[in-house]
Structure 1
Amino acid sequence: MALTIRQLRYFTAVAEVGRISQAAVQLNISQSAVTTAVRELEDMVRQPLFERHSHGVELTNAGRRFLSHAYSVLAAAEAAERMPDEEATVEGELTVAASYTVLGYFLPHHLDRFSRLHPRVNIKVHEAARQDIEEGLITRRYDMGVLLTSNVALSELTLETFFGSHRRLWVSSKHPLLDKQEVSLADVAQEPYIMLTVDEAAATSLKYWSQTPHRPDIRLRTSSVEAVRSTVANGMGVCILSDMVYRPWSLEGKRIETINLRDEIPTMNIGLSWKQGTEPTPAMTAFRDYFRHQFLDPTSARVGRNRL
């Protein structure tokens, strides 16, 4: 059986939303077609790519590795389709600002791909806090920002969200919660909690906790994702964080497991932002279009406020 682009598109859609049914809705196809594509891939690689749960699916270790390959293949296919027109014509300067989490765990891979597609675009990247990115976009110090769009406050900015990273519970490899059939925020509230503070993570976390009668028992606050990873892996607490920053091993080589929660936890939404009314340069348009091709159906791009 030959690997197909269709199978990879279906697989990545399921990986991003965590539910086969929701992926089918986004792809506008039947659920059975998605299920069949995933099973064909699993037969091809001879190992499961997802763990099935009552509330969705979760990537296995093999699935996470395969997802990286899938993104690379899809990007290469899309690059081949666009290369004849775009590579020869798009040039100029592009100043991009990105928040800590986005720059550390998401953006570099895409900057490399974009630069290969558009070698004549000179990109300058700045790491900044969300408030500084917003101010810089308004004053035109930055052309575009790549950030957590759900945190953006200024209405003078246009937002386009292209990726939502699911949040799951992180626990140590032998944690008792792994034996429960279902885990809720009520269960999490009984555990020592490690609170990440960088990129307004604490405020975001407390926002969805506040919708319940429960509160996390916070034992440590830290701005370091690696500190969270190490603390959780050593069994000193649990934490709810997004798949984007998840790695199965701590720096000490101890394993971290993830659990899908029964409660509805908002995704960590990533996207682009720019000043409303801005006349787009060719480089800005190419940067926006790159992410649309990567993550969105071009006919149904999720745009907030105004279009570029």
Structure 2
Amino acid sequence: MDLQALRFFQAVAELGSISRAARELNYAQSNLTAKIQQLETELQTTLFYRHNRGTSLTDKGKVLLSYTDEIFKLLDEVRNVINDDQTPKGPLVIGSMETTAAVRLPILLSKFHREYPAVDLTLKTGPTEQNVQGVLQYELDGAFVAGPIEHPDLTHKTVIEEELVLVTDSFHQPLSSIKEIQNRTILVFRNGCSYRARFEEWLHHEGVIPEKIMEFGTLDGIIGCVSAGLGISLLPRSVVDKHVKDDLIIQHSIPNQFGKVKTLFIYRKDKYMSTSLREFIEMLSNEMALVNNAWS
């Protein structure tokens, strides 16, 4: 089977148009059309429906696309294996929750960068659900997420167990009951954040309905707005400790069943582990006890 024809087919499937795929790949439209027709003839099936808006995949086309994606992933992996001379180098893309990136990772990332300057390390922050999907879709080499995570294609290392605390502005009285926040606005990260899910689970368990839910994209945004009295939030104690000491906010303990969450580092079981990722995981493992003491 012609790999170029498969590449053309993949591009048309993703872009929904032969003309757009031709422009993207910088090939003549007639070349793409001929290759697609050649592929359809070889497989004795129709891969696309043609219409005035472009193209859409037939059922057989959808099946072929799933195999095509796997074929090119495997080819990329072969190149990575062949080109890997056991020297950490090249791109390494790590995902992380915003809170973990802010407090837990600077020391580790700084040390890794010093020891392996040839590695092009990129850190992408986002909620746990987004990071899990990023690893599953091969967009991230690994990611720091909140557990538990159970998926047959993923393996993980436990990094640390976080304690979650409720945070309010510095003028708030000590809480004697969760019912006291019935009419408060809660400040959270967007959907997919495990801390938000834990907060909502706790409120639902207690029968508390918040007055309003406001979503934020950054940790600084949440803490700043809590400090200003806009609302309350649920965050790891390690994240808010400094702000509590500066009298910007107050932290309140919550029940253990909702207040403990493990931070995990996840990566795919089936993907070839580059030397860079292997060294990153080894450094993470070697530093874990030391880092845990510093984070506790």
TM-score higher than 0.5 here? yes
> How far apart, in 2, do the equivalents of 1:94 and 1:218 lie?
45
Find 2:265's aligned residue among 267, 272, 293: 272
Q: How far did 1:194 drift? A: 1.9
Q: How far did 1:91 drift? A: 2.0
Is it true that 1:233 corresponds to 2:227 in the alignment? yes
> How far apart, in 2, do the equivalents of 1:131 and 1:169 lie?
22
Letter of the 1:242 partner, please give it: P
Q: What secondary structure does 2:257 align onto?
A: coil
Query: Matches of residues 45-194 of structure 1 in structure 2 within 5 Å?
Result: 90-101=87-98, 102-128=100-126, 130-150=128-148, 152=149, 154-177=151-174, 183-187=176-180, 189-190=181-182, 192-194=184-186
Q: Structure 2 regions of 5+ residues with no counterpart?
A: 1-85, 291-296
Contact 2:92 2:276 in 1 (8 A): no
Contact 1:146 1:272 in 2 (8 A): yes
Residue 249 of structure 2 aligns with which residue?
Answer: 256
Cα deviation code 1:191-240 (max 9, x no counterpart): 51423033524323212333x33325243412143343233223343322
Contact 1:184 1:261 in 2 (8 A): no
Cα deviation code 1:245-284 (max 9, x no counterpart): 325449xx86212122355323343221111133433322
> How far apart, in 2, do the equivalents of 1:194 and 1:132 lie?
22
> How far apart, in 2, do the equivalents of 1:167 and 1:218 lie?
22
Residue 36 of structure 2 aligns with which residue?
Answer: none
> How far apart, in 2, do the equivalents of 1:128 and 1:256 lie?
24
Letter of the 1:230 partner, please give it: G
Task: Report the structure number with the largest CA radius of gyration.
Answer: 2
Letter of the 1:257 partner, please give it: I
Q: How far did 1:290 drift? A: 1.7
Call closer, same or farther: CA 1:274–1:192 in 2, change over 3 Å: same
Taking structure 1 as the reference length, the TM-score comes to 0.54
Q: Structure 1 regions of 5+ residues with no counterpart?
A: 1-88, 298-308
Identity, % of aligned positions: 14
Contact 2:185 2:232 in 1 (8 A): yes
Taking structure 2 as the reference length, the TM-score comes to 0.56
Find 1:214's aligned residue among 202, 207, 210: 207
> How far apart, in 2, do the equivalents of 1:228 and 1:129 lie?
14
Q: How far did 1:242 drift? A: 1.2
Call closer, same or farther: CA 1:291–1:213 in 2, change over 3 Å: same
